[in-house]
Amino acid sequence: MKQHLDAIFRPRSIAVIGASNKRGSIGHATLANIFRAEFRGKVFPVNPTHEVLHSVKAYSTVLDVPDAVDLAVVIVPKQFVPATLRQCGEKGVRGAVVISAGFSEVGGEGKTLERELVDIVREYNMRLVGPNCFGVVNTDPEVSLNCTFGKTFPRVGNVGFITQSGAMGEAIMNQAEQLGIGFSKIASIGNKADISSNDVLEYFKDDPKTDIILLYLENFGNPRNFTSIAREVSQTKPIVAVKSGRTILGAMAASSHTGALGGLDVAVDALFEQTGVMRVDTVEQLFDVAMTLSRQPIPKGNRVVVVTNAGGPGILATDALVNYGMEMPSLTPATVKELKTFSSADASFSNPMDMVAGAGATEFFKTLNVVKKDKSYDSIMAIFVPPVTVDELEVARNIYAALADTDKTVQACFMGAGEQSLGIRYLQDHSIPVYIFPEAAAKALAIIQEHRHWLKLPKGKVKNFKVDADRVREIVAANLDRGNTAIVGADAMQILDAYGIQVAGYHYAYTIKEAVVVARELGYPVVMKVNTPPIVHKTEAGGVLVDLRSESEVKSAFTKLRKRVGTLKAGERFSVVMQEMVTGTVETVIGMTTDPSFGPLIMFGLGGIYVEVMKDVAFRTIPLTAQRARRMIKSLRSYPLLTGFRGTAPVDLSVIEETLLRVSQLVRDFHCLSEIDLNPFIVSASRERCRVVDARLIIKDESRCN
Amino acid sequence: MKQHLDAIFRPRSIAVIGASNKRGSIGHATLANIFRAEFRGKVFPVNPTHEVLHSVKAYSTVLDVPDAVDLAVVIVPKQFVPATLRQCGEKGVRGAVVISAGFSEVGGEGKTLERELVDIVREYNMRLVGPNCFGVVNTDPEVSLNCTFGKTFPRVGNVGFITQSGAMGEAIMNQAEQLGIGFSKIASIGNKADISSNDVLEYFKDDPKTDIILLYLENFGNPRNFTSIAREVSQTKPIVAVKSGRTILGAMAASSHTGALGGLDVAVDALFEQTGVMRVDTVEQLFDVAMTLSRQPIPKGNRVVVVTNAGGPGILATDALVNYGMEMPSLTPATVKELKTFSSADASFSNPMDMVAGAGATEFFKTLNVVKKDKSYDSIMAIFVPPVTVDELEVARNIYAALADTDKTVQACFMGAGEQSLGIRYLQDHSIPVYIFPEAAAKALAIIQEHRHWLKLPKGKVKNFKVDADRVREIVAANLDRGNTAIVGADAMQILDAYGIQVAGYHYAYTIKEAVVVARELGYPVVMKVNTPPIVHKTEAGGVLVDLRSESEVKSAFTKLRKRVGTLKAGERFSVVMQEMVTGTVETVIGMTTDPSFGPLIMFGLGGIYVEVMKDVAFRTIPLTAQRARRMIKSLRSYPLLTGFRGTAPVDLSVIEETLLRVSQLVRDFHCLSEIDLNPFIVSASRERCRVVDARLIIKDESRCN
């Protein structure tokens, strides 16, 4: 794998097939960029109608190139791409970057054509980036590869960037240049016919030049692979992602754009939670985060001190920081004392520390030198609004001079300094991230801080409970034999029971006599529900009688229900379900749904209105660990209702946690299950009184049941 | 009033007191800006130690100026400001802009000094902007006034800007310049010792050069004035505001910065809802909104069509638009048919309409010409990602050429076009707002659309119910006579009853005999609660017995409660409160709280966990109209619980609405009330079964009770 991607990112020779002399064409721009970057290996332009391209001898086909070729950059019209790739295969080329468009992204014949490309690269053991991509970049001075056709030339840096959209790639490179962000490698992966974001992510993991990774994604080819790769990479190299297609309409646009189904947004969030990928809402935020991440250490905690020469921006910073969950402890008395020895009498010695408008380079230098020693802070934000009286380059120099040696995370804001600001350029060149508005800096810091928190979280292990999988297999098989793919009632309860989940007894009775016997076994009080004929919304239809306390009440209940259902269909025999009466503190729901591209998602929420009206539910990918299950429970807005509200006893959270883990194990063991509902799962203060009262399991893909 | 502000914004002659020759000083920068703007009237530099300033004769004091002076710009050290202003008064100056700092914003003596300034301007009937401000600007070519000390020179435009922070003012002017936004007038109001944002707002209302108004606020001097002024101005001139000090910590910083107490954030939101002011979160958003508002008509509806040459940004736009509540209807068949006559076969004829990467100026022109005729849309967003093969200036020209005559709202995004983009500059100069990222454009459009919605809302009238205010006055007086400022129990219920609010009967009984009589009058079932001795959390303490259905149950309940309370204090006599048993569908809470600077806020929410755990409450300023009360009710997340959930009948919303209005009237009539709690207010499907069960009213300022 690595070698193949080395052929893409570290080729020693390139054939540029479809290179052109025509200014403004992609073939021209790509070849020009390769030369402009001063690629360290050999470049062979290929074009059947030209002898010279860019003052260099051109060849009719790649087969005519006299030397070995590692990488082919392909820019020919789409119908010629298959033949071109075949020639590359014959030539022994190892990697191809196909910039040409008109494949799966346009549907129809384009899809067929793309499949042909994949067949060819498989046949010749080549690897392929694209088609429909923007090219790749490797700024390593030993390689110096830029086979994009963009106008913007990325500077050298430690950011690896993977983008699914070529257009976004160009826009993003331009934006990065303006912010002074440098790249190690860039891969525009286009339609991902062969090489996916997962492949590149894995490659970046071991790339010594790459410290942080930015992703622009429209969909996930293989979310499960992504999960395991991203989770591993995140431990050492932070990943920041914009995943577009958040809304349903957005997902539809993504679908028509890339020919792949966009995932449910809740699934993406669940996936990112599991992998530690920092999700941002916009491309702007992608850069805001990248600026600090690529230049500064991850903060050691969430305590920030703001030093400013203007009150207004200080307030904006405070608002934003606190709103995003950061803390702003007051200056310590020792710090204040030291600051007072040189500060203006008008200064405000709180946090934000407002040095007031007269403050210039010297004040910034002295003040920052004092606060950087204060152990109450993990990060420092220096805000400067350039008044006419102060030289902003001098201020920038002094901010850097004061903070160059601190191990705190440093950010600067130069509000209104203007695009051509020398101060901004100076800080960028000296590894201090600099923002125009403090809100952006604050948001970026908060996202990074959240990631730090994730890194520190105990990851936990996936627990394997002793369960009776054979029994589940039998019940599933028996249901499938009957052509039944929706397992309900006693069967559903027995499956849960086989996985060690506490369920309320679920017994059928066909006669009054049977009902009396069952009630005695269950112990009073009991609940009785109509079983046959099947009734939807039993409670509303009067098909449920609760709190039956004696034999005579059971008897009359049976008769009452029999009367209520009236005439039966031919072959139907009246029956009831009987259960012990479960009275707990809180009704909850545990569920599982299968996302078409992300696979199973476990759901947890409080029953009734909390799920249905307040939409207060949490989704997580599997497998769950105890730690993740606990955080999942705590993430609910209605969580306080579980910990004792208005004098009720707190429920036993460990039972909820364990039940989530057991459901997770059931889902892992039985891939044929596509939906599960434990509703209600009644929970209480004591473990014994936590019980699933009803359940339903749906089988989608029978073939995956073994 | 207007004349006084004319002295500030339209002076015929200016004295610049404290002007200086020293480059880099504020006195130098301000005088230089006045000359650079080519002020249309006369300028008189004043400085006791210079004879010539900027090649112009200088005067020792303003009294030495030979001509009349309309406006004094004051830049002298703070301790000289009072004397300077006094001289201005003697000279007959009408307006003063005091740039000097060191007044109330630094507290202590600064506050005293500022009060002195106010006394002087009152004495001489002058008006004062500042102190501690950045100056004022009027770009009207007939005036051409710029007495700021900033580096950025604002261009002429239709945006009026009021800022409380001078530093923010400079930052904002710089940002505006980069976005090509022009101003009509700018006022940096500083400490607002005399002229407030309300004054300037009122002035802008009648200013023919100002079409939209931007506000940067840290606090409200007089929120009630702001309400009436802003609501009126909003009808014709949209107001967009950044109000900083959102978080409590932020509010504290605001307080130390400006010497004024920041309001509760919920109060600010309520105020803006009432006035139609568009609140934005960040200064960036302020501009994003201003760009479209100042250049384009307010959209007629929320339907947007996106035309793009790149799929990725199209998805980002769709995500953002849908997420912010905009709609993206599909292209009509007629439109698709027409587009197909000239579009690339690879194009995607949905919304977003993706013309694919090859599309250039001609395709933009033709496509936009077709979609602008489609009546399914109110706004058009044109997204262009400049590929190397396309001339972006040509694209900009063609976007303008196609859309110059449409009455739809138009926005453009040039992603990655770069700072020096000629295309961006061209669109800015031709009244088409242009963004780098589509999310920013979408957010701005959504905020403007929300404002359009507000403009169209029926405003309603404040209803005056027939009430018995005298009875309330008596009850209040009687309580105050007893030294009681917390009115509870029967008194509270009677106050509500006097205002036509349906309450559960509230009767005391001291003996079993009385209890039996009361129960008979109320009608069974009844509720009995301990009244004396007073018990906090009665229900938890077992001090409440419900659903008493007969005389014997009432008798034994009385005895039981008497036993439970045990020994009484000397002088205490055991008593109970008895009420009819109110059983409704939903428990709600209506309340009122008084914000120190915003005054009374009415609160509504669903009882118990919805208020306490889910924090699902709505606040509104008074006076409420029926329309605002209805929207307030609907704004709750838990609103579906009121409209019938799981087969329960919907409650009578008109009773909630009316009760909110009656509480609003009570609050308007009795300024002495600082807090009200109607908890619970039980509501049902039928009007008769909606009842306030308990209430509590707090009197703060006795003197305002009449």
**pLDDT tens digits, residue range B305-337?**
999 998 888 888 998 998 888 999 999 999 999
- Across the strands, what pairs with B410? B380
Residue A291 placed within a domain: no
Picking from A24, A101, A314, the nearest residue to B253 by CB comes out as A314
pLDDT score at A217: 84
Q: Point out the least confidently predicted range of A265-279, A468-482, B290-304, B608-622.
A: B608-622
Q: What is the dihedral of CA A289, A291, A293, A296, to 10 degrees?
A: -140
Whether residues B118 and B256 fall in one domain? yes
Pick from B254, B13, B65, B36: which is nearest to B148 by CA? B36
pLDDT band at B246 (very low <50, low <70, confident <90, very high): low
Whether residues B644 and B540 fall in one domain? no
- The whole-chain average pLDDT of chain B stands at 88
Whether residues B83 and B212 fall in one domain? yes
Identify the domain boundary among A456, A490, A524: A456
Report d(CA B653, CA A498) in Å as an integer: 49
Question: For A220-232, what is the mean pLDDT?
Answer: 81
Q: Point out the least confidently predicted range of A44-48, A342-346, A465-469, B532-536.
A: B532-536
CB contact under 8 A, B418 and A174: yes
pLDDT band at B249 (very low <50, low <70, confident <90, very high): very low
Instruction: Count up the domains in chain A and report the number.
Output: 3
pLDDT score at B649: 82
Cβ–Cβ contacts within 10 Å for residue A404, how many?
Answer: 11
Asked if B151 reaches chain A (Cβ–Cβ under 8 Å), the answer is yes
Whether residues B174 and B37 fall in one domain? yes
CB contact under 8 A, A149 and B387: yes
Whether residues B261 and B313 fall in one domain? no
Residue A561 placed within a domain: no
pLDDT band at A259 (very low <50, low <70, confident <90, very high): very low
Burial category of B490 from C-beta neighbours within 10 Å (exposed 0-12, middle 13-18, buried 19 and up)? middle
Residue A267 placed within a domain: yes
pLDDT score at A252: 46
pLDDT score at A253: 46
More reliable by pLDDT, B637 or B381: B381
User: Residue A260: is its pLDDT beyond 50?
Assistant: no
Tens-place pLDDT, residues B390-424: 788 999 999 999 999 999 999 999 987 766 788 99
Tens-place pLDDT, residues A136-172: 999 999 999 999 988 878 999 999 999 988 777 777 8
pLDDT band at A662 (very low <50, low <70, confident <90, very high): very high
pLDDT score at B462: 87
Q: Point out the least confidently predicted range of A209-218, A438-447, A528-537, B285-294.
A: A528-537
User: Residue B374: is its pLDDT beyond 90?
Assistant: yes
More reliable by pLDDT, A217 or A477: A477
Residue A28 placed within a domain: yes
Picking from A29, A106, A313, the nearest residue to B167 by CB comes out as A313
Of chain B residues 258-297, which have a CB less than 8 A from chain A? 258, 281-284
Whether residues B370 and B409 fall in one domain? yes
Whether residues A264 and A241 fall in one domain? yes
Question: For A428-436, what is the mean pLDDT?
Answer: 92
pLDDT score at B3: 61
pLDDT score at A246: 54
More reliable by pLDDT, B159 or A344: B159
Report d(CA A236, CA B273) in Å as an integer: 47
- What range defines the domain where residue A658 resides? 458-504+582-706
Report d(CA A462, CA B408) in Å as an integer: 57
pLDDT score at B239: 95
DSSP 8-state secondary structure symbol assigned to residue A135: E
Residue A691 placed within a domain: yes
Question: For B623-639, what is the mean pLDDT?
Answer: 90
Question: For B673-681, what is the mean pLDDT?
Answer: 89
- Work out the minimum CA distance from B171 to partner chain A, whole angstroms: 4
pLDDT score at A674: 86
User: Residue B248: is its pLDDT beyond 60?
Assistant: no
CB contact under 8 A, A170 and B416: yes
Identify the domain boundary among A281, A306, A332: A281
Whether residues A260 and A331 fall in one domain? no
pLDDT band at B261 (very low <50, low <70, confident <90, very high): very low
Our CA angle for A208, A211, A212, nearest 5°, is 140
The CATH number linked to A699 is 3.30.470.20
- Which residues are CB-contacts of B64 (< 8 A; sequence separation ≥ 6)? B46
Of chain A residues 299-328, which have a CB less than 8 A from chain B? 309-316, 318-320, 322-323, 328
SS3 label, residue B619: strand
Residue A679 placed within a domain: yes
The CATH number linked to B570 is 3.30.1490.20
- The whole-chain average pLDDT of chain A stands at 88
Whether residues A96 and A21 fall in one domain? yes
User: Residue A87: is its pLDDT beyond 80?
Assistant: yes
Residue A653 placed within a domain: yes
pLDDT score at A254: 44
Of chain A residues 342-381, which have a CB less than 8 A from chain B? 345-346, 348, 350, 352, 354, 356-357
Of chain B residues 66-125, which have a CB less than 8 A from chain A? 101-102, 105-106, 110
Tokens for B598? 């915003």
- Closest residue of chain B to A615, computed from CA coordinates: B637
User: Residue A539: is its pLDDT beyond 80?
Assistant: no
CB contact under 8 A, A167 and B609: no
Question: What are the φ/ψ torsions at residue B162 (nearest 5 degrees)?
Answer: -120, 125
Report helix angle B469-481 to B653-669, nearest 10. 60
Whether residues B553 and B634 fall in one domain? no
Question: For A192-210, what is the mean pLDDT?
Answer: 94
CB contact under 8 A, A348 and B165: no
The percent of chain A in helix, strand and coil, each rounded to the nearest 5, is: 40, 20, 40
The CATH number linked to A416 is 3.40.50.261
User: Residue B256: is its pLDDT beyond 60?
Assistant: no
- Closest residue of chain B to A134, computed from CA coordinates: B387
pLDDT score at A610: 73
Cβ–Cβ contacts within 10 Å for residue A481, how many?
Answer: 8
CB contact under 8 A, B437 and A250: no
Whether residues B86 and B234 fall in one domain? yes
Q: What is the dihedral of CA B332, B338, B342, B348, to 10 degrees?
A: 10
User: Residue A535: is its pLDDT beyond 80?
Assistant: no
Tokens for B601? 């806020």
Report d(CA A374, CA A310) in Å as an integer: 22
In this structure, are residues B423 and B452 in contact, taking their beta carbons and an 8 Å threshold?
Answer: no
Disruptive mutation site among A319, A615, A616 for chain B (greatest number of B CBs within 10 Å): A319
Q: What percent of chain B has pLDDT over 70?
A: 94
B-chain residues near A350 (CB < 8 A): 252-253, 256
pLDDT score at A247: 53
Whether residues B309 and B366 fall in one domain? yes
Residue B478 placed within a domain: no
Long-range residue pairs from A90-93, CB within 8 A, at least 24 positions apart, any chain: A90/A63, A90/A124, A91/A15, A91/A62, A91/A63, A91/A65, A92/A68, A93/A15, A93/A62, A93/A69, A93/A126
Question: What are the φ/ψ torsions at residue A259 (nearest 5 degrees)?
Answer: 65, 25
- Work out the minimum CA distance from B512 to partner chain A, whole angstroms: 31
Tokens for A428? 């960028």
Q: Where are the alpha helices (DSSP H) in A92-242?
A: 109-123, 166-178, 197-205, 223-234
Report helix angle A392-403 to A361-371, nearest 10. 20
Identify the domain boundary among A456, A473, A496: A456
